[in-house]
């Protein structure tokens, strides 16, 4: 998957109205708000804690590490590093 938002399958962007470089992120045609992202983070943290309960496992800390790496590098971490796969 490319880090170029224009190439993401489930997402698209449209021109925003605040600046010529302003973009609005759409998911399935609906604008994504910061609150949506926060709600998704809460969901993933709870789910990780359920599937991989601390202190035996990392739980939500693994998700937080993934997000932290994304924020620090501005790139999507590799699937292998975080053992991400969907069944």
Q: Is residue 87 part of a domain?
A: no
Angle, alpha carbons 73-27-7 (nearest 5°)? 55
How does pLDDT run across 1-20, given as a tens digit for each residue? 345 555 578 888 899 999 99
Asked if residue 24 and residue 1 are part of one domain, the reply reads yes
Distance (Å, whole) CA 50 – CA 33: 26
Domain residues for the domain of 47 are: 34-74
Q: Is residue 83 part of a domain?
A: no
Asked if residue 46 and residue 24 are part of one domain, the reply reads no
How does pLDDT run across 20-52, given as a tens digit for each residue? 999 999 998 999 999 999 999 999 999 999 999
Asked if residue 39 and residue 16 are part of one domain, the reply reads no
| Total structural domains within the chain | 2
Asked if residue 45 and residue 27 are part of one domain, the reply reads no
User: pTM of this prediction?
Assistant: 0.79
Q: Which sign, positive or negative, has the C-alpha torsion 45, 83, 27, 73? A: positive
């Amino acid at each position: 998957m490319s880090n170029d938002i224009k190439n993401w399958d489930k997402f698209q962007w449209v021109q925003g109205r605040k600046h010529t470089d302003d973009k609005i992120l759409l998911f399935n045609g609906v604008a994504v708000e910061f609150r949506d992202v926060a709600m998704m983070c809460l969901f993933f943290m709870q789910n990780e804690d359920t599937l991989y309960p601390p202190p035996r496992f990392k739980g939500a800390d693994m998700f937080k590490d993934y997000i932290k790496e994304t924020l620090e590098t501005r790139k999507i971490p590799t699937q292998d590093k975080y053992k991400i796969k969907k069944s």
